[in-house]
Structure 1
Amino acid sequence: MVGQFKSAFAVGVSIIAMGVALPAHAQDGSADAEPAADTGGINEIIVTSQRREENLQDVPISVSAFTADQVLARGITDVGRLEGIVPGFTFGRSGQDARPSIRGVRTENVGVNGDTTIGFFIDGVYQSRATQATAGFVDVERVEVQRGPQGTLYGRNTFGGNIAITTAQPVLGEMLGGLDVTVGEYGRFRTDAFVNLPVSDTLAVRVAGSLEKSDGWVKNVNPLGNNLFDDDSKYLRATVLWEPNDQFSAAIKFDYSTRGGAGGSAFGYKIIGSYFDVGSRQQLYNGTPVLNLNTRGGNRDGVNDALPGGTATSDLGVPVFAPGDGYTIDTDQKTILDLENKAITANLAYDFGGITLRSITGYTDFGAIRTQDSDFSGNQIAIDYQDTRAETFSQEIQLLSSDTASRLDWVVGAYYFHDELTGVFINQQLPRIIRNVTPNLTLPQNGGGFYDQQRATTESVAFYGQATYEVVDNLRVTAGIRWTEDTKDFAFANANAVLPTSGTPPVPQGTAITLNTGPIPDSAFGAQGAATNCTYTTFPPPRPGFQCLAANTAVLTGATYDTAKFRKATWRLAVDYDVTPDNLLYASVSTGFRSGGFNSGQGPAALQPTFDPEEVTAYEIGSKNRFFDNTVQLNLAAFYNRYNGLQEQRQVPQGGTTLSIIENSGRARAYGGEAELLWRPVTGLEIGANVAYLNAKYTEYDQVPAPFGTSILVTDATQTTPTIVNGVQIAAAGQRRVFAPGYDCGLIPGTGGTGQPAAAFGCDISGNSIPHSPDWTGAVFAGYDIDLGSLGTLTPFAIMTFSSSFFGQPFNSVLEQQPSFQKVDLRLTWAPTDFISIQGFVNNVTDERTINRFVWGGGGALQASFAPPRQWGALLSIRF
């Protein structure tokens, strides 16, 4: 670790030295706002973190913001590019799902049975699906990242913070336009364009759009498959602004986007390996790491596999292709991405003189279809399919004070949200062709497949208010509260090998699950509160609302759960003080929560049909400062967050695949500090850095089953009697139960006894680090506008981001660890005029290969997704 940070420090010093060494006679090319002085200075950025327009430096909240010019100059093309640039913000991704993390809060559940953990807003409208956050930025005005719970002004879906995008609004009375053309590695070609049309003195229209094509940067050597992370996207947005007078404004926005190609698979696309107990040749979590074996179900090639220190005596799977290389795969199924998003947004405001009434309305119709090669190999074994649909409506009404002379600023509001969600997951098992041996093996398919459809509805109502009062000059007190009620309904239907498709009562189809299986009749989902027809004797007992096959009442088809309501009052108290006009101190305590929900009840998930809300209490002190005649900006924050019931995602075996369920951990806490430094000593020279320290751990989290192989039975002649724990036999005579090494594991109380579920084993992982929570993250950057006289300006820009190691799963095992790393991006921009610029860039210059998502899948195989490799390109920008 010391060596890693010495390297990071050396690179950072080099970047700063580059900026300092440049001549000090350049012209300011920044366009965020008017410069503070001809000799340099830091420009203001206006943000809306408190639901009103304010100077970033006056907001007593940890927030980072970037203007349109900074987004372009720094290559912030999507949410993932914010990693490192924003202190304490890390970004994970699986397929098209964004998985950001802030202060120990990460995005785990992206299914229709849960809400996002870190809110994603576009023009004030919440986007309910994690996939919506992976779209590229087009003609944006500003990007804001708020750290810490925003439960008062933004609500239950902002447990860890917010990412807020403000798109560029129409400008009255001006004809404006722009064109950006990007070309780059992997055949990348992207065009972004916008035009601003002044229809009249009171009406303007702004139209923006983009087209992008690129090959995938994960290369598939198998001609039967395709590359991953290609791009075939289209985006169109039209915004109409009407301001008939000084009091009223209305902005109506329509946008439409599609994305096709192969996509990026689903939960992960590369197998890392597994663990085995070498002596017994059984999979045992945290046993001996095996990095070159794909143990997914059905991956058997008739070849005995050698384990470290053991003799080859068992067929345990197939070799991992190009082990450790996250950018090369060998899969034989063509994956598909078919994403479509349609949205309408209306922002209306009327100033009554001292009070402003604002309405924010949003409607979204979203759909995404994704497939992946389920076995992660060049063998024909199985394919997965996901179809996610969301129809979302939200309405927010605000009243805000607008009297700048008053000592009291306030906002009150009401919020309504309705989300209709459908999620389908299909695992289709195929007749097996094992191609990694000669001659190829032809085997029957491995089971009948699996089908799971979930239907979820969320209706949320909230009322909130926040007021800030200046008690004496420069000293302000803020208090806010929000009351939220979430109403959730949930139903599922699934089957293993048989599926009801028609008839009353439903009759089994009698064939294996395929990607074309369906439709499912409503009767398969049962009815809320209705008596069950199920007679199966496995634990747990049948519940009201559960439905089984009429022809075989021991086969569960689905269920409709009782409606659940989650009510919570969240609040914020804060005080801030202007030590000088350029130095602010603040302290706050706030709360946040995220609703509970439901799990599909098939198999092991039936033991945990629901999960509870998670809650946080956050304490923060901070300071925002400008020094040395507005040439140095230093923002500091220290925080302590206390979490209860964090919602954790777990994969449980289900046929030839795994099913994702959610459970609550006990307690956790996170504390740390963040610093952002910006120095502009002269016009055009910018040097900056940020650093974040985070210590995030579970303080109570026990009885947790390992992802696989929590325990195994091995032969032991010395054990002459059965092993009994709490009256339950956990090993027969002549056998010994071995638990996952390195963990405190044992029998879960309440299992294995009469009338109880089968014996289950879990571990106490209290004290483990929360996943995706590196101790140290940060960045160092420098840029300068070099005056070339009549040839314009030349701006070199470099940024080095770094991270200490982190774990990808709660058990913190060695296979789940991403080591420390540094990444360097370089950009060189030539602007011959104020209206034209040409930029060359290289992202991840050293081609650092990092994993940003880990998940344990079927067969005890660790799946991973990698961050992009080194990529170069060029960008032509024209403005008129």
Structure 2
Amino acid sequence: MLSSTVKVRVAALASAGVMALAVPAAAWAQQDPTSQASTPQASTGDTQGLDAIVVTAQRRQEDVRDVPIAVSAVSAATLDEAGIDVSRDLPQVIPSVQFSRSGASGLFFVRGVGTTNAAVGEEGANAFYIDGVYLGDLAQTINNFNNVERIEVLKGPQGTLFGRNATGGLIHVITRDPGDELEMHGQFGYANYQTVDGKLYLATPLVEDKLGIDLALTYHNQDKGWGRNLTLNREIHTENYWGARSKLVAKPTDTIKLTLAGDYYKNRDNLGLAWKIKPGTVGTGGVPGVEGQDSTANIIPLTRQKVYGTSLTGEFDLGFATLTNVAAYRKARNASDFDVDGGPRNLIRITFVSSSQTIQEELRLASNGTGPLQWQAGFFYLNSKASNDSDFTGLAFSGSGVARQEIRADLKTNSYAGFGELTWKVTDTTQLTGGLRYTADRREFDGTSTNVLLSGTRLPPSVQPIPRLKYNEWTYRVALRQDLTDGVNVYASINRGFKAGSYSLQSPANKPFLPQTIMAYELGLKSELFNRKLRVNLAGFHYDIDDFQVRSAAVASPGANLILNAATVKVDGVEMEFEAAPTDGLRLFGGATYLKSRFDKFGGPGADFQAPIVYPNPATCPASQFGTDNPGLLGPGPRTGGYLTCFGDVSGNRTPNSPKFAASFGASYSVPVGDTGKLQFTGLYSYNDGYYFEPDNVHRQGSYSLVNGSIEYRPTETFGIALWGKNLFDKEYAIQDLTTATGVTEALGTPRTYGVDFKLDF
């Protein structure tokens, strides 16, 4: 059940939202409920009130107000106005979402639940979808928003209809379909750091009402770095990428729709790899921390990435039901080279090449009609292969006479799931939903670790007897919705989620980690008031998580990470979202999240799981700790700088990447200019109370605020020019923090950027 604290906060927020009416919901997808928009919807904010919001959170098109799930939906128009053009910026408009980046991988957290390890083969605790296709590889979650129609963020476990690894929630990117008319949208921009951006969207019908095609292109080139490598006197933090996506949509009859989609993305950068020693700490050898975006690493890091895929979606109206089939293929390849210790000495350098490919198939049958019973059932299959070839070099190994450690690892996964859900309209104002899903996961691992001595001699590879993993789990959902008035309803739900166990590909000598399960309890309120001029959503939730998966430094491989299980985690929280259109041309939006996410049991005498705790060197593990020195790092004994990992009890500590409070507020105001023109002002403010990166809660990112703003002038409907700025006050904040034997390193978020965009729409 929800704790008394959460109940009180839910009641207080409900009273404030309904009575004060001053706090309006980040559910901003603006779409007519009877049709799918093919172009970005403008923010209205006129006297007619807010536009309807149609989402597919329950695998069918519904008004978001009727869905007993906490859903944040962001339209293409809002993304553009707020300056949100990449997935890593989503937390600025959805406070319950946090983002961390490691190399080419994006790590998302929803309500404190997420994945901290970015190794290939690791799947996120929050599922990521594009047009109904699951993206299991974390390297595919850093997306540029070009042809996006809307983004839906479902909060809380989605263990029935989506299922796979949606333990904290999911992020679903829905792209546009080509329409019945010729369409073109272009944008060209120039920004500081010698940055050139370009976006182009083209769509045209090929056969009237039967066949259409589109093409979306994006290009980004940042030549000047955010900082400098002080050791090599070269710029760092640069980024270059381009991508393409296309859809071919066929409607041979009134009852059949076929969509063939393909995409390609290529990236070259070092944004998530330019590690620097954290200010206020000392690295091995007495190397001090570095302020700002600069680094003292002994190399210029680099990651190169290719991601591509294709999917075929068929929708068949059978009269009594609609049959939907989604078949997809995805592939990603990543090559990276970086300095883990962040200092001028070659202590730990990692070079790796990783790849992944997935084949997936989903078949769903969903009832049509408006009767008292609605149902859907389906089957899901996924086959994935991931490989990782890593070389670890540096002085961290030389104490044992080792010049290089080579790790070769392959992971194969087969997953099968069957699911069903039934919604019963008990009365005109009461609705009950129940769903069930059965998942069977099979995983097979093959890995070796080989040491190469300083003399060049290769030792025999270490091959560990690693068992195949089999996990079979039931997940379910029960939700009750009660309409109070035409514009207000409340709901209560119970959900069980599951994330499969696996292996740590960077450390094949370590045992597999266990599955993570979650029980979620939620109360919510959704409202549209004053003739749809104000929308307010509230939710309170409690989670019980067993075998919570967390990152730790690998014992056998300096600089590598592995996944450990924490026994239990408790999460309590409340959140609010709002949107308002109080006057002509003015729109307000925002939200806030209060979160208490903590390890209920992680370590201690007799515990099944002991927590990693770091201590500055010179040090030995305290007698009170339930473990010994970690000799696989730099070896025991005093030295200057660096850290020693021990194992002990962190029960009561906060979980990683879970700020106690986060909020955002935005405003957009449009005024007419002349007969055809308009001038639009947009501002966005976001606040984060701060968070820890590791279970030991030693190093913390403090609170920070970000401010974005833009001014756009459109003399006609077809042409516009916009001046914009992001992180206007140039706040520094870490998006990744890593503790190893050599010290604490970090990677920072985007500094202040500003530029001008030219837009054409036909």
TM-score, normalised via structure 2 length: 0.88
Select the residue among 572, 583, 608 that pairs with 1:682: 583
CA shift digits 1:459-514 (9 cap, x unpaired) = 1000001111101112100000000000000111112225xxxxxxxxxx97278x
Contact kept in structure 2, 1:768 and 1:811, CA below 8 Å = yes
CA shift digits 1:237-293 (9 cap, x unpaired) = 221000012100000011111112x42354x611116xxxxxxxxxxxxxxxxx252
Between 1:778-787 and 1:223-232, the stretch displaced more is 223-232
Matches of 1:216 and 1:567, distance apart in 2: 50
Distance 1:197 1:223, change over 3 A: farther
The residue number in structure 2 matching 1:60 is 68
Matches of 1:73 and 1:712, distance apart in 2: 52
Matches of 1:333 and 1:87, distance apart in 2: 36
Matches of 2:561 and 2:399, distance apart in 1: 27
Q: Residues 205-216 of structure 1: matches in 2 within 5 Å?
A: 205-215=213-223
Contact kept in structure 1, 2:43 and 2:78, CA below 8 Å = no
Contact kept in structure 1, 2:277 and 2:341, CA below 8 Å = no
Contact kept in structure 2, 1:218 and 1:329, CA below 8 Å = no
The residue number in structure 2 matching 1:809 is 694
Matches of 2:457 and 2:224, distance apart in 1: 33
Contact kept in structure 1, 2:239 and 2:271, CA below 8 Å = no
The residue number in structure 2 matching 1:856 is 739
- Tell me the SS of whatever aligns to 2:158: coil
- Tell me the SS of whatever aligns to 1:82: helix
Contact kept in structure 1, 2:542 and 2:570, CA below 8 Å = yes
CA shift digits 1:370-395 (9 cap, x unpaired) = 11124423445553212120011100
Contact kept in structure 1, 2:690 and 2:702, CA below 8 Å = yes
Does residue 603 of structure 2 align to residue 596 of structure 1?
Answer: no
Contact kept in structure 2, 1:33 and 1:43, CA below 8 Å = no
The residue number in structure 2 matching 1:199 is 206
Q: Which runs of 4+ in 1 moved over 6 A?
A: 34-37, 443-446, 710-713
Contact kept in structure 2, 1:421 and 1:457, CA below 8 Å = yes
Contact kept in structure 1, 2:589 and 2:667, CA below 8 Å = yes
Does residue 97 of structure 2 align to residue 89 of structure 1?
Answer: yes
- 1:705, CA displacement in angstroms? 5.1
The residue number in structure 1 matching 2:308 is 342
Contact kept in structure 1, 2:229 and 2:236, CA below 8 Å = no
- 1:37, CA displacement in angstroms? 9.2
Matches of 1:221 and 1:562, distance apart in 2: 44
Q: Residues 323-362 of structure 1: matches in 2 within 5 Å?
A: 323-325=290-292, 327-362=293-328
State the aligned residue count: 707
Distance 1:492 1:178, change over 3 A: same
Matches of 2:567 and 2:660, distance apart in 1: 22
Does residue 442 of structure 2 align to residue 487 of structure 1?
Answer: yes
Contact kept in structure 1, 2:131 and 2:173, CA below 8 Å = yes
Distance 1:875 1:457, change over 3 A: same
Letter in 2 for 1:264: L
Larger Rg: 1
Letter in 2 for 1:97: S
The residue number in structure 2 matching 1:132 is 140
Distance 1:667 1:710, change over 3 A: farther
Does residue 426 of structure 2 align to residue 426 of structure 1?
Answer: no
- Tell me the SS of whatever aligns to 1:69: helix
- Tell me the SS of whatever aligns to 2:731: coil
- Tell me the SS of whatever aligns to 2:270: coil
- 1:652, CA displacement in angstroms? 2.6
Contact kept in structure 2, 1:104 and 1:770, CA below 8 Å = yes
Query: Structure 1: which 5+ residue stretches go unaligned?
Result: 1-18, 21-29, 274-290, 296-315, 433-442, 499-508, 514-548, 550-554, 714-736, 752-759
- 1:341, CA displacement in angstroms? 1.2
Distance 1:761 1:826, change over 3 A: closer
The residue number in structure 2 matching 1:874 is 756
Select the residue among 675, 680, 683 that pairs with 1:798: 683
- 1:709, CA displacement in angstroms? 4.4
- Tell me the SS of whatever aligns to 2:495: strand
Select the residue among 183, 188, 201 that pairs with 2:195: 188
The residue number in structure 2 matching 1:475 is 430
- 1:788, CA displacement in angstroms? 1.4
Matches of 1:780 and 1:210, distance apart in 2: 29
Does residue 667 of structure 2 align to residue 762 of structure 1?
Answer: no
Contact kept in structure 1, 2:104 and 2:305, CA below 8 Å = no
The residue number in structure 1 matching 2:255 is 247
Distance 1:330 1:467, change over 3 A: same
Distance 1:46 1:228, change over 3 A: farther
Contact kept in structure 2, 1:148 and 1:618, CA below 8 Å = yes
- 1:572, CA displacement in angstroms? 0.1
- 1:51, CA displacement in angstroms? 0.8
CA shift digits 1:340-379 (9 cap, x unpaired) = 1120011110101120000111101210111112442344
Does residue 565 of structure 2 align to residue 628 of structure 1?
Answer: no
- Tell me the SS of whatever aligns to 1:682: coil
Contact kept in structure 2, 1:208 and 1:238, CA below 8 Å = yes
Matches of 2:436 and 2:355, distance apart in 1: 33
Matches of 2:646 and 2:389, distance apart in 1: 30
Matches of 1:659 and 1:34, distance apart in 2: 47
Matches of 1:468 and 1:690, distance apart in 2: 29
Matches of 1:146 and 1:117, distance apart in 2: 13
Distance 1:510 1:356, change over 3 A: farther
- Tell me the SS of whatever aligns to 1:159: coil
Matches of 1:244 and 1:597, distance apart in 2: 44
TM-score, normalised via structure 1 length: 0.76
- 1:40, CA displacement in angstroms? 3.9
Matches of 1:430 and 1:711, distance apart in 2: 17
Distance 1:221 1:870, change over 3 A: same
Matches of 1:619 and 1:697, distance apart in 2: 17
Distance 1:240 1:355, change over 3 A: same
Letter in 2 for 1:471: V
The residue number in structure 2 matching 1:306 is none
The residue number in structure 2 matching 1:511 is 456
- 1:218, CA displacement in angstroms? 3.3
Matches of 1:40 and 1:565, distance apart in 2: 55
Query: Structure 2: which 5+ residue stretches go unaligned?
Result: 1-22, 25-37, 605-609, 632-644
- Tell me the SS of whatever aligns to 2:364: strand
- Tell me the SS of whatever aligns to 1:101: strand
- 1:558, CA displacement in angstroms? 2.3
Contact kept in structure 1, 2:676 and 2:717, CA below 8 Å = no
Does residue 337 of structure 2 align to residue 371 of structure 1?
Answer: yes
Does residue 400 of structure 2 align to residue 411 of structure 1?
Answer: no
Matches of 2:656 and 2:498, distance apart in 1: 19
Select the residue among 264, 267, 287 that pairs with 1:318: 287
Letter in 1 for 2:228: N
The residue number in structure 1 matching 2:468 is 563
The residue number in structure 2 matching 1:270 is 276
Matches of 2:40 and 2:477, distance apart in 1: 31
Matches of 2:626 and 2:299, distance apart in 1: 41
The residue number in structure 2 matching 1:538 is none
Contact kept in structure 1, 2:277 and 2:295, CA below 8 Å = no
Does residue 597 of structure 2 align to residue 696 of structure 1?
Answer: yes
Matches of 1:596 and 1:661, distance apart in 2: 12
Letter in 1 for 2:302: I
- 1:112, CA displacement in angstroms? 3.2
CA shift digits 1:46-73 (9 cap, x unpaired) = 2111111112222111111111222212
Matches of 2:543 and 2:203, distance apart in 1: 45
- 1:762, CA displacement in angstroms? 2.7
Matches of 2:222 and 2:377, distance apart in 1: 46
- Tell me the SS of whatever aligns to 2:452: coil
Contact kept in structure 1, 2:377 and 2:420, CA below 8 Å = yes
- 1:589, CA displacement in angstroms? 0.3
Between 1:842-851 and 1:831-840, the stretch displaced more is 831-840
Letter in 1 for 2:201: F
Q: Residues 137-176 of structure 1: matches in 2 within 5 Å?
A: 137-171=145-179, 173-176=180-183
Matches of 1:35 and 1:856, distance apart in 2: 45
Contact kept in structure 1, 2:159 and 2:497, CA below 8 Å = yes
- 1:43, CA displacement in angstroms? 0.6
Between 1:61-70 and 1:612-621, the stretch displaced more is 61-70
- Tell me the SS of whatever aligns to 2:531: coil
Matches of 2:690 and 2:231, distance apart in 1: 36
Contact kept in structure 2, 1:423 and 1:455, CA below 8 Å = yes
Distance 1:75 1:361, change over 3 A: same
Between 1:79-88 and 1:107-116, the stretch displaced more is 107-116
